[in-house]
C-alpha cells in the first residue's frame, strides 16, 4: 500500500488539488445532532442565510420525515430563494423522500449503512436487502427530478468489495454522488486516500467526504479524500457534530486555499461572524485556540514574535486576520517587551522613552505573574499612571550611579528567556 500511495502522489500536482471542490454544509443536520444541541427555527433560517452569504454550494437543511418544526424549517429554508442548493436527509425509505419532496428541496441524501456490523446489529437485515433498498429509493427520487446523494454510512468499516457493489448500485440507479462516511472517525489520511481513489477508479462516481473527528483527523481526512479525487466535502461550522464533531467548514476551506492552493472563492471574511452565531445558537463557545477562527489566532504577547509581527506580520501569519473576520491584537504579559509596551501606550496618546519602557515592562511582567494572565489595557494605564514618577526617579538614580537601565533590562530579559524553551 505504501508503494501504491507514493505512486499516486507522483502523478498529482504537489501544490494544488487538480479539480473543482464543492462544500455541502451539514451544520443544520449533523451539526444539530450534537448531543444537547437544538436550533430554534429562526436560528436555522439565519444560519442558512449566513452559509449562503459565505457561498457554500449546498446546505443539508434537516430531516423532513421528522415532521413538525423540523419539516417546517426545511420547507422555509427551501423557500428562501438562496443561491445554494438545499438538500434534505432521508433514510432509504420512500415515505422519507416524499416528505422531503413536499418541502420543495432540490436535492436529497439517501442514507444507508454499508458496514456488516451496522447491517447485522442496526438494520438486522442482509447485504442484498441493503442494495435493493438503495436501488428503489434512488429510482424513486430520480423520477422526481432531484439531485441524489447516496450516503454510505460507516463506509470506513465496510468490506471494500461490498462498498464497491454499494456504489455501483447507487450509480446504476441514477445517483449523482456517493457520500463516503467515516462515521466513527477511524481513518487516517493515507487510508482515506487509498479508499477514495479505489472507489473513484473502479466505480466512476462522484464522491463526497463526510469525516468525523474522533481521532482529530476530520479535516485532514477530508482533504486526503479530495486529493484522491473527491469533488464534494461535508462540513459543519466550528466542527460541530456528534461525539468529537465533523470536519470544520472554516478549516477545510482555508486549508484548501493556503495549503493545497485551491481557492473555493468563498467569502471567508464572514467566517468569524458565522462561527460566533453558530456558537451562540448551539451554546458551544468557540475555544480561544480554535483553528482559523479562534480569538487567540492573531494575538501576540511574546516580545520576540510581537516585535517581528509589528515589522512583518507574514513572519507568523499565513493569512491576514481580516481574511477570516478577526483582528490582530497585542497583549502585555509575562513574556512581553518594551517595543509592544511603547506601541500600546502610543495608541493611548502616551509617548515613552526606551528607558521608561524598559523599567515599566519589568513591573508589568511581575503584575502578570501575580494575576496569572495578561493585562487589560485599563490595567496597563493604571500601572503607567501609578508608577511613571517612580520610574523616572529610578532612571535618574541609575544615571547618577553610572548604570545603564537599558542594559539592566536586557540582562533581565535574557535571564527570563533562559527559563523557558526556545521558541519553535
HEC per residue, 268-285 = HHHHHHHHHHHHHHHCCC
Chosen domain end from 256, 282, 308: 282
Which of 282, 308, 339 corresponds to the end of one domain? 282
Q: If pLDDT is split at 50, 70 and 90, which confidence band does 128 have?
A: very high
Amino acid 396: pLDDT: 85
Number of C-beta neighbours around residue 40 at 10 A: 11
50 and 174 housed in the same domain: yes
Q: How confident is the model at residue 107 (pLDDT cuts 50, 70, 90)?
A: very high
289 domain-assigned: no
108-123 pLDDT, tens per residue?
999 999 999 999 999 9
Are 110 and 230 contained in the same domain?
yes
* Structural domain includes residue 94: yes
Q: Count of residues for the chain? A: 424
Mean pLDDT rounded to a whole number for the chain: 91
Q: What does the pLDDT read at residue 174?
A: 98
Q: State the Cα–Cα distance between residues 300 and 307, nearest whole angstrom.
A: 9
Decide: residue 327, CB within 10 A, 0-12 exposed, 13-18 middle, 19+ buried. Answer: exposed
Residues 267 and 325 in one domain: no
The answer on 272 and 338 residing in a single domain is no
pLDDT grade for 318, boundaries at 50, 70 and 90: very high
What percent of the chain has a predicted confidence (pLDDT) above 90?
78
Predicted local distance difference test score (pLDDT) of residue 304: 87
| Least confident residue range of 86-100, 102-116, 351-365 | 351-365
Q: Which H or E element spans position 96?
A: helix 94-103
304 and 272, same structural domain? no
**Of the given ranges (271-275, 379-383, 418-422), which has the lowest mean pLDDT?**
418-422
Task: Give the pLDDT score at 224.
Answer: 97
Phi, psi of 167, rounded to the nearest 5 degrees: -65, -40
Round to whole Å and give the CA distance between 180 and 173.
Answer: 17
- Tens digit of each residue's pLDDT (9 = 90 or more) over 153-163: 999 999 999 99
Q: What is the CATH number of the domain that holds 236?
A: 3.20.20.70
In this prediction, residue 13 has a pLDDT band, given cuts at 50, 70 and 90, of very low
For residue 12, the model assigns a pLDDT of 45
96 and 136 part of one domain: yes
410 burial via Cβ count (<10 Å: 0-12, 13-18, 19+): middle
Q: Are residues 329 and 230 in the same domain?
A: no
Say which residue the cell 493545497 belongs to: 260
The number of CA neighbours under 13 Å toward the Cβ of 356 is: 17
Q: Concatenate the DSSP letters of all residues of 118-183 into one string.
A: HIIIII---HHHHHHHHHHHHHHHHHTT-EEEEEEETGGGS-HHHHHHHHHHHHHHT-SEEEEEET
Are 63 and 113 contained in the same domain?
Answer: yes
> For the chain, first and last CA: distance in Å?
34
What's the grid cell of residue 280? 451562540
Residue 293 lies in a domain: no
Taking only the tens place, the pLDDT of each residue in 156-187 is: 999 999 999 999 999 999 999 999 999 999 99
Quote the pLDDT of residue 106.
98
Clarify whether residues 399 and 348 are in a common domain: yes
* Cβ count within 10 A of residue 310: 14
Give yes or no: residues 186 and 159 share one domain: yes
> Is the pLDDT score of 10 beyond 60?
no
Which range marks the domain in which residue 32 is found? Answer: 2-282
Question: Could you tell me the sign of the dihedral formed by the alpha carbons of 242, 245, 250, 254, in that order?
Answer: negative
Domain total for the chain? 2
- The DSSP H or E segment spanning 75 is helix 68-78
Amino acid at each position: 500500500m505504501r508503494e501504491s500511495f507514493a505512486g499516486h502522489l507522483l502523478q498529482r500536482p504537489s501544490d494544488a488539488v487538480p479539480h473543482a471542490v464543492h462544500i455541502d454544509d451539514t451544520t443544520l443536520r449533523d451539526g444539530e445532532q450534537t448531543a444537547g444541541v437544538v436550533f430554534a427555527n429562526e436560528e436555522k433560517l439565519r444560519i442558512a442565510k449566513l452559509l449562503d452569504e459565505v457561498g457554500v454550494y449546498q446546505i443539508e437543511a434537516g430531516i423532513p420525515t421528522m415532521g413538525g418544526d423540523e419539516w417546517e424549517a426545511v420547507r422555509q429554508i427551501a423557500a428562501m430563494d438562496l443561491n445554494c442548493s438545499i438538500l434534505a436527509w432521508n433514510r432509504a425509505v420512500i415515505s422519507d423522500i416524499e416528505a422531503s419532496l413536499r418541502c420543495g428541496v432540490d436535492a436529497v441524501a439517501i442514507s444507508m449503512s454499508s458496514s456488516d456490523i451496522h447491517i447485522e446489529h442496526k438494520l438486522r437485515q442482509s447485504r442484498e436487502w441493503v442494495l435493493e433498498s438503495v436501488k428503489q429509493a434512488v429510482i424513486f427520487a430520480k423520477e422526481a427530478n432531484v439531485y441524489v446523494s447516496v450516503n454510505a454510512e460507516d463506509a470506513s468499516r465496510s468490506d471494500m468489495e461490498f462498498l464497491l457493489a454499494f456504489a455501483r448500485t447507487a450509480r446504476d440507479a441514477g445517483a449523482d454522488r456517493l457520500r463516503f462516511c467515516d462515521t466513527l472517525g477511524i481513518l487516517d489520511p493515507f487510508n482515506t486516500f487509498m479508499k477514495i481513489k479505489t472507489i473513484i477508479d473502479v466505480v466512476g462516481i462522484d464522491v463526497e467526504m463526510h469525516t468525523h473527528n474522533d481521532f482529530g483527523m476530520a479535516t485532514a481526512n477530508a482533504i486526503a479524500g479530495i486529493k484522491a479525487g473527491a469533488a464534494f466535502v461535508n462540513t459543519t461550522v466550528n466542527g460541530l457534530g456528534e461525539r468529537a464533531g465533523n470536519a470544520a467548514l472554516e478549516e477545510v476551506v482555508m486549508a484548501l486555499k493556503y495549503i493545497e492552493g485551491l481557492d473555493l472563492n468563498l467569502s471567508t471574511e464572514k467566517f468569524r461572524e458565522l462561527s460566533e452565531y453558530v456558537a451562540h445558537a448551539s451554546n458551544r463557545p468557540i475555544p480561544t485556540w480554535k483553528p482559523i477562527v479562534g480569538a487567540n489566532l492573531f494575538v501576540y504577547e511574546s516580545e520576540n514574535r510581537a516585535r517581528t509581527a509589528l515589522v512583518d506580520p507574514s513572519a507568523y501569519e499565513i493569512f491576514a486576520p481580516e481574511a477570516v473576520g478577526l483582528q490582530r491584537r497585542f497583549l502585555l504579559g509575562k513574556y512581553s517587551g518594551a517595543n509592544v509596551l511603547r506601541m500600546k501606550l502610543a495608541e493611548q496618546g502616551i509617548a515613552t522613552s526606551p528607558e521608561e519602557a524598559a523599567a515599566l515592562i519589568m513591573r508589568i511582567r511581575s503584575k502578570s505573574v501575580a494575576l496569572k494572565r495578561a493585562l487589560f489595557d485599563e490595567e496597563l494605564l493604571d500601572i503607567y499612571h501609578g508608577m511613571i514618577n517612580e520610574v523616572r526617579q529610578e532612571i535618574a538614580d541609575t544615571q547618577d550611579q553610572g548604570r545603564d537601565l537599558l542594559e539592566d533590562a536586557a540582562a533581565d530579559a535574557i535571564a527570563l528567556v533562559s527559563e523557558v524553551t526556545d521558541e519553535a
